[in-house]
Amino acid sequence: MKKIFILAAGLFIAGAANAQSPVRFGVKAGVNIANIIKDDGNNNFNTEGKTGFNAGVTADIPLTDAVSFTPEVLFAQKGYKVTNNLGEYSQTTNFIDIPILASVRLAGPLDLVVGPQVSFLMSNKNKFETGYGSVEDVNENSDKFKKSLLGGVIGARYGLTENLDIHGRYALDFQKINENGNTNTPEFKNQVWSFGLGYKF
């Protein structure tokens, strides 16, 4: 992970030094539709998507007329749901995501965004709801979860105005967040579809 930070810092400095036009900073927020990809273990149940949100800050550093370096720092909610005859189980995991992206102009105001992402686990909450009530556990089994994960992002953004854009993307962790699955908690990787708005100053 340290090498990724050094690379990101190097790219940021080099990009800022060679920027074709002024560096622009911004904010963004949107909706996450998260689910998991189950790995090995006793995972004989189906999961459903879980809705959360993301929000954070961005930078846009032009490298050429068509390519920009676009790092971000985001708070992002992920997780999944399972529904059965007993009720609904949901897990919410809160992360700080640091996408290290390249934005490539495709046509007009439409950009392709792609690159690696480092995610840091902040907290997790498990909730079980039945017709008789609900039970919540905060940070249950968090010692079994990896605190940092490497993943990838691909998506697109469309400039509505000089300052405002809409965007959509898909993010996938390359590593499992946990190592020991069972009938209640699978071994899994996070995957997230996200949609939102960004504003550049």
For the residues 87-109, what does the mean pLDDT come to?
96
Output the pLDDT for position 141: 67
Cα 152 to Cα 118: distance, rounded to the nearest angstrom:
8
For 10-48, letters b (16+ CB in 10 Å) and e give ebbeebeeebeeeebebebebebebbbebeebebeeebe
For the residues 18-37, what does the mean pLDDT come to?
89
The Cβ-side half-sphere exposure at 184, using a 13 Å CA radius, reads: 8
More confident residue, 135 or 140: 135
Cα 60 to Cα 69: distance, rounded to the nearest angstrom:
6
pLDDT at 81 over 80: yes
Instruction: Answer for the pair 52, 90: CB distance below 8 angstroms, yes or no.
Output: no
Output the pLDDT for position 109: 97
pLDDT digits 0-9 by tens, 142-158? 778 999 999 999 999 99
Cα 128 to Cα 134: distance, rounded to the nearest angstrom:
6
Give SS3 for 55.
strand
Q: How confident is the model at residue 17 (pLDDT cuts 50, 70, 90)?
A: low
More confident residue, 179 or 165: 165
Q: Across-strand partners of 167?
A: 157, 196
Structure tokens at 23: 């560096």
For the residues 94-115, what does the mean pLDDT come to?
97
Q: How many residues does the chain have?
A: 201
User: Which residue has tokens 């370096």?
Assistant: 69
Give the global pTM: 0.87
pLDDT at 114 over 80: yes
